[in-house]
Amino acid sequence: MTQADDALARKRFLALSIMRLMGAAFVAIGFILIGGGFALAGQPTDRWVGAAIVLVGAFDFAVMPLLLARRWRSPKEL
């Protein structure tokens, strides 16, 4: 593995890690909104906004790193 390949792998690992951290943060913020920890537009609306943020955060945490890893996978050599 060359230094360029190593640097690229480090950047991709950092991107995947940040994606998971942001997903976890979105989930936490969404649950705080659902629970009424702080108000944006009033309680009925905050619950729906919080639920949407939780869904986006779960997608960012669980699915997006898998999609990126599949896209960045090295081709198999025969």
Residue from 38, 31, 74 nearest 56 by CA: 31
Whole-prediction pTM: 0.82
Residue 39: per-residue pLDDT = 82
If one counts every other C-beta atom within 10 angstroms of the C-beta of residue 53, the result is 20
- What torsion do the CA atoms of 59, 23, 54, 39 make, to the nearest 10 degrees? -150
The tokens of 57 are what? 């955060």
Phi and psi torsions of 74, nearest 5°: -70, 145
pLDDT along the chain (78 residues), means of 10: 86 94 96 88 88 96 92 78
Nearest in space to 52 (alpha carbons), one of 31, 69, 72, 22: 31
